[in-house]
Amino acid sequence: MAPASPLSRRVRSLVVAFSVFALTVLTSNASNASWQTWGPYRPNLYFGVRPQVPETLLMGLMWASGDSRDKLLSTLRDTCEQNDGMRGYGWTYYDTRLGGSQTMHDTQLQLDLDTDFLKTEDGATWAVRITGTPDPSAPDVNTSVILHVAVENVTSNGPKSLVCEKQTEGKDGIEAVCRGEIAALGELELNVLGDAMNNLVYNTAVKSVQVPEDKIWQAKSVFIDHLRALPGNQMTLEDAAGAGNMHFVQLTFQGPFKLMLTYHGVEATPLNPNTVESGLSSLRSTFPSTVDRVFPRSSPFQQDKYAKFTQEILSNLLGGLGFFHGDTKVDYSNATEYLETDLDFWLKAQAAMARAPITTTAPLTLLTHTPSRPFFPRGFLWDEGFHLLPVIEWDLDLAVSVLQSWLNLMDEDGWIGREQILGPEARSRVPAEFHVQYPHYANPPTLSLLFPILISKLAGTSPYAGHPSTYLSSPDDASRMLKDLYPLLARHYQWFRRTQAGNFTGAYPRPEGAIAGEGFRWRGRTPMHCLTSGLDDYPRANPPHPGELHVDALAWVGASANALQQVARHLGEQADADMYEKHVAAVKHNLDALHWDAANKTYCDATIASDNYTLVCYEGYVSLFPLLLGLMDADHPNLPAVLDLLSDPAKMWSDYGLRSLSAADPNYGKDDNYWRGAVWMNLNVLAVLRLRDVGLQNPAGQGRTPVQTRALSLAAQLRERLVNTVYNSWEQTGFFWEQYSDKTGEGTHSRAFTGWTACVILLLGLQFDKTTVGRGMDIASLGSSSSTLSFFWCR
Ligand SMILES: *[C@@H]1O[C@H](CO)[C@@H](O)[C@H](O)[C@H]1NC(C)=O
Ligand SMILES: *[C@@H]1O[C@H](CO)[C@@H](O)[C@H](O)[C@H]1NC(C)=O
Ligand SMILES: *[C@@H]1O[C@H](CO)[C@@H](O)[C@H](O)[C@H]1NC(C)=O
Ligand SMILES: *[C@@H]1O[C@H](CO)[C@@H](O)[C@H](O)[C@H]1NC(C)=O
Ligand SMILES: *[C@@H]1O[C@H](CO)[C@@H](O)[C@H](O)[C@H]1NC(C)=O
Ligand SMILES: *[C@@H]1O[C@H](CO)[C@@H](O)[C@H](O)[C@H]1NC(C)=O
Ligand SMILES: *[C@@H]1O[C@H](CO)[C@@H](O)[C@H](O)[C@H]1NC(C)=O
């Protein structure tokens, strides 16, 4: 018999037992659950499941050495960490709608641990199978596995209860059952199915406890406290199953093991090991071809080794999706110092912040992908727009859900906090000095990048090969969705224009010919940092000046106006569309009138020096923003100079991608050295796509100009360098990284960074010849500048 069969046999009787139970005992609330409801939406944990419903059920997995109590306590794995002896971990395949498989290579514990998660599309059931495979050199290694389930805020939001029970030894292979009710989910049941290989060392322990609300997400510390309280060197909790708001099931194994946790609404048939096995194996076998279809690979990336790479980078981007709910800290003082009008504004703002009262808001809810599970397990506005670029190709409805969730965070003014640290669990991962969000601080409005893509897919002008989409199949649903989002997008845009406005009152000189009012300045600068721009330590005018204008801030306004223009046009709001189109034109005009340094032939920030309007040039990503955000056409007179800058090996062009700061800049590699040379994939991918876009334009219906040929050639070269950089580093280290060294291509800063680094997936199939654009799309025929944004992602 196959090794899994004892478990299967047990479960067959389990299924029978529960269908009887369901028919006779309980009636469920009408469930509105869907494929989105359940998932491993606690990406800060190695494995943790929760529904997209606030104040409900939190499930998590911990494991540790089972050799001794001391070892158990010192090796207990819970949250993803940078340095706990893993040789790599992450999803080898994962689809947000269905589930997937994650492996943790736990070298310290001499074990590979797999968590295979499967859910049904009706949202009524899910299961996780946990498999431990000892290293061949340590076949008898002991491992303790702790599953935990907690119920948040038992007394709020309707009836909630969970009662666990230990099953008599061996019965049907079920070690523990928890039954309960959560208002939003109805009556439910969880089962822990034990070891199919009979490798349990100790009796399974089931312990139910009541913890204060602030401990509800701290299963590890609750577990440790309870274990420490036991006498001697006991390694398992004492049995004490029953009612409580936190429940532990601890199993200790010697050698290989396999166990499963299943969830089901009482009216649903629970998943059993056979269905899980067959569900996972069909997912495993279809996933590669689905990925190939959505993200096709072209030369020179057709080899099989790139298939696994593509699957992993996508799986880990998707597997970083989290659902967050909780309060956040905001400084609503709106101190006049926050207008930042004085010459020493940053000092005055700091002083005002030190005395400002901090408000703890009502709980907010956010569905978001996360930049990095160990290091940044929370929502970042600047990152999310990039995360969604691959996601919208894979699963348009999922991307829309995330867009909606982010835009719904907006307050009445139009502000969205740039970093969403919701609730104490999220806060526990952030130093206290960064908790407070400021309503005068902006962040690049990257969500704008998604709207032209969304519109082009709705209009059928760009292909879509992802999961079937309700919006693409129902124009009514699509227009309702857009009508809801459009005013939010517009409000955020107006907020940005108002709060990040440059000073055009006449207090400072402005170049002749510039359009008054169409210039912007990031608030929140200090001499060394402009965190709000997203480019942290990228050099800017020093000292900061209240008369400054930032080229990237203006370009983001242009990108947002372009997005709004397209949405308005799609919705038939012609007057609005005309207005936004004028904004785009004004932005384009002022990029040149305010920010083009004709002597240095580069786009620059501007400041006031000796009462004069003065450009301050630090060549690097900031100089590329007019191109990166689609605001330069193929016939733009400054395009050749921009191409010179980015292709100059002494400046931005490196073997591994575009340097964030020119190697010729005196600040290159200095101080924090964060955005001062390293290669970042988000803006590099944008560069490839824009260069290609410019190269394929053909507004006048003529042949390709020399500058277009050059742009295409640069795009093609850059594409290969970027993919090779991320691929080689992944092959060597097992990880994707936050940024890459421009000198060696090594991954640097945070590892397990599958946020925007995953954007390279958009490059694998990119082709540069108009005749091979693919899927019948004639990109060049789309023509003029205002529509360039709508097709530049297409393959
Ligand atoms: C079901 O609907 C209720 C009421 O609208 C809501 O509170 C709950 O969160 C929903 N549950 C799910 C799983 O979407
Ligand atoms: C629990 O309820 C309290 C009071 O209503 C609320 O402040 C807190 O945010 C809730 N906790 C969660 C996790 O939702
Ligand atoms: C593993 O557990 C077994 C049973 O308790 C024990 O005999 C053995 O010594 C343990 N192995 C190690 C390496 O501690
Ligand atoms: C902040 O104060 C300014 C005046 O200093 C006022 O115009 C603005 O409306 C205030 N914003 C909020 C959100 O209260
Ligand atoms: C513009 O700068 C002047 C001089 O510092 C200042 O008085 C004024 O308040 C500023 N206006 C705006 C809108 O920032
Ligand atoms: C820009 O041009 C000015 C004048 O030609 C020159 O002094 C300065 O060094 C140049 N700056 C850069 C960054 O090239
Ligand atoms: C500033 O501009 C004035 C004329 O507007 C000029 O006389 C002066 O030389 C300029 N100063 C600098 C430092 O360029």
Provide DSSP, 247-286: EEEEEEEESSEEEEEEEEETTSPPP-HHHHHHHHHHHHHH
Catalytic: 187?
A: no
What pairing do the DSSP bridges indicate for beta strands 186-193 and 257-265? antiparallel
* pLDDT interval class at 156 (50, 70, 90): confident
Q: Pick from 617, 644, 669: which residue ends a domain?
A: 617
Q: Pick from 565, 583, 617: which residue ends a domain?
A: 617
**Amino acid present at 741:** S
CATH code of 68's domain: 2.70.98.110
Measured CA angle at 176 (ends 173, 178), to 5 deg:
135
* pLDDT interval class at 465 (50, 70, 90): very high
What contacts 208, CB < 8 A, 6 or more positions away?
Answer: 163, 164, 240, 241, 242, 243, 244, 246, 247, 248
| Spatial distance between the Cα atoms of 544 and 549, rounded to a whole number of angstroms | 11
For ligand 3, the distance from its centroid to the CA atom of residue 173, given in whole angstroms, is 23
What contacts 147, CB < 8 A, 6 or more positions away?
Answer: 59, 60, 61, 192, 248, 249, 250, 261
- For a ligand 5 pocket test, name from 504, 505, 508, 521 the mutation site with the most ligand atoms within 8 angstroms of its C-beta: 505
* pLDDT interval class at 59 (50, 70, 90): very high
Of the listed ligands, the closest to the CA of 545 is: 5
* pLDDT interval class at 770 (50, 70, 90): low
Token pair for 122: 């009706």
Percent of the chain with pLDDT over 90: 85
**pLDDT of amino acid 15:** 32
Phi-psi region of 414 (alpha: psi -120 to 50; beta: other; left: phi over 0): left
Using the predicted structure, report yes or no on whether residue 788 has a pLDDT greater than 70. no
Marked catalytic residue, from 81, 536, 576, 635: 536
**pLDDT of amino acid 138:** 94
Sheet containing 246-254: which strands, arranged edge to edge? 38-39, 48-51, 57-65, 142-151, 246-254, 205-209
- 169 compared with 319, residue with greater pLDDT: 319
Quick check: is 566 in a domain? yes
Instruction: Give the pLDDT confidence of 305-342 residue by residue, as tens digits.
Output: 999 999 999 999 999 999 999 999 999 999 999 999 99
Quick check: is 651 in a domain? no
Contact 237, 248 (CB under 8 A): yes
| Spatial distance between the Cα atoms of 720 and 659, rounded to a whole number of angstroms | 15
Measured CA angle at 652 (ends 650, 654), to 5 deg:
80
**pLDDT of amino acid 159:** 79
**pLDDT of amino acid 512:** 96
**pLDDT of amino acid 14:** 32
- The closest-lying atom of ligand 6 relative to the alpha carbon of residue 615 is 1
Instruction: Give the pLDDT confidence of 384-443 residue by residue, as tens digits.
Output: 999 999 999 999 999 999 999 999 999 999 999 999 999 999 999 999 989 999 999 999
| Spatial distance between the Cα atoms of 725 and 318, rounded to a whole number of angstroms | 21
Token pair for 758: 């995953």
**pLDDT of amino acid 171:** 59
Using the predicted structure, report yes or no on whether residue 194 has a pLDDT greater than 80. yes
Quick check: is 521 in a domain? yes
Catalytic: 67?
A: no
**pLDDT of amino acid 603:** 98
* pLDDT interval class at 525 (50, 70, 90): very high
Domain extent for 564: 504-617
Instruction: Give the pLDDT confidence of 475-515 residue by residue, as tens digits.
Output: 999 999 999 999 999 999 999 999 999 999 999 999 999 99
Atom 14 (ligand 3): residue with closest C-alpha? 67
Atom 13 (ligand 5): residue with closest C-alpha? 503
* pLDDT interval class at 32 (50, 70, 90): confident
CB neighbourhood size of 653 (10 A): 20
Instruction: Give the pLDDT confidence of 581-610 residue by residue, as tens digits.
Output: 999 999 999 999 999 999 999 999 999 999
| Spatial distance between the Cα atoms of 616 and 540, rounded to a whole number of angstroms | 7
- 702 compared with 222, residue with greater pLDDT: 222
Give the alpha-carbon dihedral of 348, 350, 355, 358, to 10 degrees.
130
For ligand 6, the distance from its centroid to the CA atom of residue 743, given in whole angstroms, is 26
Q: Pick from 592, 617, 642: which residue ends a domain?
A: 617
Quick check: is 15 in a domain? no
**pLDDT of amino acid 698:** 80
**pLDDT of amino acid 84:** 79
Measured CA angle at 666 (ends 668, 670), to 5 deg:
40
Quick check: is 197 in a domain? yes
Quick check: is 706 in a domain? no
Token pair for 272: 């059993």
- For a ligand 2 pocket test, name from 50, 55, 323 the mutation site with the most ligand atoms within 8 angstroms of its C-beta: 55
Indicate the helix (H) or strand (E) that contains 627: helix 621-628
Q: What is the pTM of this model?
A: 0.92
Using the predicted structure, report yes or no on whether residue 772 has a pLDDT greater than 90. no
**pLDDT of amino acid 169:** 62
Atom 5 (ligand 7): residue with closest C-alpha? 612
Using the predicted structure, report yes or no on whether residue 30 has a pLDDT greater than 60. no
Instruction: Give the pLDDT confidence of 348-401 residue by residue, as tens digits.
Output: 999 999 999 999 999 999 999 999 998 899 999 999 999 999 999 999 999 999
Looking at every residue in the chain, the average pLDDT score rounds to: 91
Quick check: is 452 in a domain? no
Ligand 5 binding pocket (C-beta < 6 A) is 341, 503, 505, 507, 546
Report the range of poorest mean pLDDT among 121-125, 330-334, 445-449, 521-525.
121-125
Quick check: is 222 in a domain? yes
Mean pLDDT of 753-780: 72
**pLDDT of amino acid 196:** 64
Whether the CB of 424 sits within 6 Å of ligand 2: no
Indicate the helix (H) or strand (E) that contains 577: helix 574-595
Give the alpha-carbon dihedral of 474, 479, 482, 483, to 10 degrees.
-150
**Hunting for tokens 């992802």 — which residue is that?**
466
Atom 8 (ligand 3): residue with closest C-alpha? 67
- Number of structural domains (the chain) is 2
